[in-house]
Structure 1
Amino acid sequence: MRKTALKSRLFRFHFEVNHRMAKWKKPVGRPFLALRGHTYYARLTVPTDARDYFGKTELWQSLKTKNLREAEYRAGRIIAEWKAQIETFRGNIGIAHKALEWRKVLDEERKKDQILIEQFTRQHGRPPTLAHEIDDLGLGTYSLVYGDEVERIYFEQGPEAAARFDDIVKGNSLPTLTYAEDYKASLKVIPRTLQQRETHLDYLNQRFPTLPVRRSEVARWIIEMETQNLAEATIKARIGTCRGYFEYLQRLDHLNPDEANPFEGHKYTRRKKASKQDLRQAFEVDDIPRLIDAAERKRRKDTNLVAAIKIAAYTGMRREEIARLRVENIREREGIRYFDIIDAKSKAGLREVPIHSELLALVDKLIKASSDGYLLPDEKITKNDERGDAIGKRFKTLRDGLGFDSRYVFHSIRKTVSTIFERAGVNHNEAAEIVGHEKTGMTYGLYSAGMSILQKSKIIEMISLKTLH
C-alpha cells in the first residue's frame, strides 16, 4: 500500500510540474518568445558549451508587455545581447563575429517572413500590404532591431566600424578566416602541406582581414613580398593557396561567384639568373662514405641516422619514405627482396624498390632490432605527422661538422643517386620509376604497368660506393 501511495504522489507531482511548465512555455508562434499568463518573456536555450558560464540551460527575461509586436521588438534586442555574450564567452569577440551572427538571424527571418507572406497570399489572394497585416504576421521584427544595432555601433565605435559591420551583414564582405576550417577540411593533402596552407591563410588574414579584395591590392602585396626577397616559388605558393580559398568561397556562394578571382593571372618580377651558389647540390659519390663514417663515429650512437643515410644512398628514397618503412614493408618476389613503399609524397612515390645487395645484412639487422614495428624505431612524430624530421635535424648537424654548407641536405643524397643513374646511361623513365618521379609520355606514364622487379634490381645494383660496408 505504501509503495502504491508513493507512486501516486510521484505521479501527481510530475503532472503538476509538467502542467506548470506547459503553461509557462505556452507556444505563441514566434521564435524566442513564451507567454506566462498575459505577459510575454524572451527565452533562449543556452548552448551546451556555454552553460557553465551562465549557470543554467535556458535564459528567460520578462518583456513586461502584453502586446505581441512590442514583445517581438524587445525580445530581438535581448536575444541579440545574449547571443553576443555567448560569442564573447567562446572567444569570438569583435564586430566581424557579431556581424556574422546578425547575418544568420536576418537570413532566418527572411526565410520565415517569406513563408508567412506566401501563406497569407494563398489565403487572401494578395500579399500583405496594410500595417496591421504586417504587424499581425510579425514581419521584419529583427530588421527593425538591426537598424538600432547599426546606430549603436555608429555612435560607440564610429562610422567606419558601422559601415564594416553593415557590409558583413549584407554579404558585401566576409571576415577572411570565417570558413578557413571548412576549406582545410575539404583538402586532400598530406599534413605537412596542410600546415603550409594554414600558414598561407594566416598571411592572407594579416594582409586582408576581410574579403573580397581588388586585384590591384593583391598585385601590390606580391610586389611587397618580392621586395622582401622571398623566393618566387614561396610567393606563388602563398598566392596559390589564396586563389584556391577564394574559389572555394565562391563555389559555396559565400562570395559572389560571378566576380573575377583577384588572385588569378598575376605576373611576377623576373629574378636574376640562377646561380650555382644558390642551388641545392648533390653530394659527390665519395662524399657518401664520409657521411656514413662520421655518423658511425658519433659519440652518441645513432643507428637510425647511419641506416637512413645508407638506405638513401642505395635507393634514392626520400627521408620520410625511409622513416615510414615498417618491418612488414620488406617483401620478396621472384627471389628478390624489396622495399614496398605504401606511404609516399605522391602517387608516383608508391613503388617497389629492390634492396641493394650491400643493404641486405643491414636490413636483416634492423628487422631483428625493431622495437615498434618500424625499420628505424623510436622516432618521434611531429604535429605534421612526419617521422623523419628529427633524422633530418641530426643529419644537418652531421653535415655542418664535415664542412658542407646549407646547399647540401639529406635530399642531396637522392640527387647523388639520380646522378649515378644518368652517368650509367639509365633511361629517364626507368630511373623515375625507381626514385618515385612521374614518368613522361602517355605510353609509359599512363598505360604501362612498369618494370619487373628483376629489371629494377639490375638498375639498383648499378649504384656502387665501394668504400661503403
Structure 2
Amino acid sequence: MQIKKDSYLVTDPAGVWVVRITIPPYMKHFFEGKSYFIRSTGTVDIRKARLFRDRIAVEFNNLREQLRPKRPGSRIDQILGELRSIGNYTKDAPPTQLDVPAQVAACPTLLVMRDQYILQFSEKRKLTTLSKTNKAVEVLLEHLKKRDVKLRDINRTTVTGWLDKLKTEKAPQTIQNYISALAQIWDLARNRYHDAPQDNPWRGHGLEAKSSKVSYEVFTHAELAKVFVALDGDEEMQAVTLIGMYSGMRLNEICSLRAENIREIEGVLCFEVTEGKTKSAARIIPVHSLITPLVLSLREKPHNGFLFYRASIIDRADGKRSTWHTNRFTRVKRKALGEKGSERKVFHSLRHEVAQQLDRNQINEDRIALILGHERGKTETFKTYSKHAASPVELQKYIELLSYDISG
C-alpha cells in the first residue's frame, strides 16, 4: 500500500510526531465511539515517525477493509440495483421544478462555527492558538448567559458592551486575544455562508494591547542569591532557573525540553528548541559549561521523555508545560524579596538579563537574536543549521560570557 509522504502524521506541542487516522462510522463502536485513532510515535525525527506510521497504517487499513460493510451481489449488480431503485422512485415523484433554486445551507450557530474553525485550522494553527479560540467563545457565551447563539444576533453594541466589562476584569492582551479569535470565526462564516453577517463586529476596536505590555526588570545578583536560598531543597525549580539564567530560554521552552532535545551539534552540547512562541523560536543554544553536568544528568533520567517531572504531568488544552513552574517561581520570589518593588521581576526577567549581559559584552545584535529566538529581519526559521548563520561553536563563545555572582 502506497502512503503519501506525511499522511496521518501531526505533531504534539512538544514536537513529537503523532499518528492520527480517522475512524469510519462503521468501526467507531470498536474504538469506544472515538473519531480518531491516535498514537504517539515517541520521536521528533520525521523519518523514524514515517516508518512507525507505515506499519500502523497498513494494519489499520487491513482492519478497515475487513470490517467494511459488504453489499450482496457483484459490483455491477449493486450499480444496476441502485439505478433501478432511482428509476422506480422517479415514476411517482413530481416533475422537477427547474426554476426553484437548490437549498443552500444556512450559516450555523457560534458553537458550530467554532468547531468548523478548529477543524479547518487544526493543522495550520498551534494548539495554544486554537485553545484561545475555544476560550473566547466560552467566555462570550458565559457573558451572554446562553448555551449558543446565532452570529447575526451579535452586533457591535453587544461587542462593545462586553469589552467594557472585560476591561475591568482582564488584561488588555487577553482581551485582544479574544477579539482576534472571534473576528476570525466571523471571517470564516462570511466566506462560507451566504447569510452570514457581512459586517464583522469584532474589527476596528483598536485596543492597542501591545502598548500595555509590562516592561520587566532584571534581578540584581544579590536578589537572585536570595531567590536561590528560598529555593533550597527544590531541585527541579533550581535546575529550571539555572537553565534560564545561562540560556535565555523562555520558561515554557525549558519545561518543554525532552531528553532528545539535548544533543551534540558540530561537537557542541546544545539545547534544541523545535518550536515556541514565535516562528523564530526554533533554534539551538549551546549549553554553558557551568550547567553541563546538570543538563547531562537531567538527560539521563527523563520523566516520560521530559527533563522535568512537573512538566511531564501537566495536561492542559493549550499544551503549556510551565504552569506549575510559573506559580512556584512567583511564590518563592515573593517570599525572598517581598511583594513590594518586585512586581516586575519575574522568571522572564532572566531572559532580559541574558540579553543585557550579551549586549554589554558588545555581541552583535543579530547573534543575540539567534540565541534568544527573536526575529532576525527576513531570516528564515532554523537557519542555525545554514552556512549563512552562526555555528554552535561561535554561539558557544557568547554563551560562556554569561556569569553571575550569587554565592552570597
Q: Pick the TM interval, shorter chain.
A: 0.5 to 0.7
Which residue is equivalent to 1:222?
163
Which residue is equivalent to 1:264?
203
Q: Calculate percent identity across the aligned residue pairs.
A: 26
Which has the larger Rg?
1
State yes or no: 1:395 paired with 2:332.
no
Equivalent position SS for 2:376: coil
Alignment of structure 1 residues 286-297 onto 2, 5 Å: 286-295=222-231, 297=232
1:198 and 1:119, CA in 2 relative to 1: closer, same or farther beyond 3 A? closer
Which residue is equivalent to 1:45?
none
Contact 2:218/2:353 (CA < 8 Å) preserved in 1?
A: yes
- TM-score (structure 1 length as normaliser): 0.56
Alignment of structure 1 residues 275-290 onto 2, 5 Å: 279-290=215-226
- TM-score (structure 2 length as normaliser): 0.64
Which residue is equivalent to 1:382?
315
Which residue is equivalent to 1:54?
none
Which segments of 5 or more consecutive residues in structure 2 lack a partner in the other structure? 1-27, 30-88
- Counterpart of 1:247 (choices 164, 181, 187) is 187
Give the deviation of 1:283 after TM superposition: 2.0
Alignment of structure 1 residues 60-209 onto 2, 5 Å: 119=96, 171=106, 174-187=108-121, 188-207=124-143, 209=149
Task: Tell me the distance in 2 between the aligned counterparts of 1:430 and 1:408.
Answer: 25
Alignment-mate amino acid for residue 211 of structure 1: L
Contact 1:429/1:439 (CA < 8 Å) preserved in 2?
A: yes
Alignment-mate amino acid for residue 268 of structure 2: I
1:373 and 1:215, CA in 2 relative to 1: closer, same or farther beyond 3 A? closer
1:445 and 1:340, CA in 2 relative to 1: closer, same or farther beyond 3 A? closer
Which residue is equivalent to 1:346?
278
Which residue is equivalent to 1:426?
363
Equivalent position SS for 1:402: helix
Task: Tell me the distance in 1 between the aligned counterparts of 2:219 and 2:199.
Answer: 47
Alignment-mate amino acid for residue 380 of structure 1: I
Task: Tell me the distance in 2 between the aligned counterparts of 1:372 and 1:303.
Answer: 18
Over residues 358-417 of structure 1, what are the superposed CA-to-partner deviations in whole Å (9 max), with x where a residue is unaligned?
111212222333354332246412223333222222222211211243433222221221
Contact 1:354/1:453 (CA < 8 Å) preserved in 2?
A: yes
Contact 2:285/2:395 (CA < 8 Å) preserved in 1?
A: yes
Bigger mean CA deviation after superposition, 368-377 or 198-207: 368-377
Contact 1:284/1:416 (CA < 8 Å) preserved in 2?
A: no
Task: Tell me the distance in 1 between the aligned counterparts of 2:322 and 2:335.
Answer: 20
Task: Tell me the distance in 2 between the aligned counterparts of 1:253 and 1:468.
Answer: 65
Over residues 168-207 of structure 1, what are the superposed CA-to-partner deviations in whole Å (9 max), with x where a residue is unaligned?
x994x75322322221223333333332221111233345
- Counterpart of 1:457 (choices 383, 392, 396) is 396
Task: Tell me the distance in 2 between the aligned counterparts of 1:467 and 1:418.
Answer: 18
- Counterpart of 2:177 (choices 197, 216, 237) is 237
Task: Tell me the distance in 1 between the aligned counterparts of 2:314 and 2:209.
Answer: 39
Equivalent position SS for 1:179: helix
Alignment of structure 1 residues 309-388 onto 2, 5 Å: 309-377=241-309, 379-384=312-317, 385-388=319-322
Contact 1:338/1:354 (CA < 8 Å) preserved in 2?
A: yes
Identify, as 1 or 2, the structure richer in helix.
1
Contact 1:332/1:338 (CA < 8 Å) preserved in 2?
A: yes
Task: Tell me the distance in 2 between the aligned counterparts of 1:270 and 1:332.
Answer: 40
Contact 2:223/2:337 (CA < 8 Å) preserved in 1?
A: no
Contact 1:444/1:450 (CA < 8 Å) preserved in 2?
A: no
Equivalent position SS for 1:331: strand
Alignment-mate amino acid for residue 401 of structure 2: M
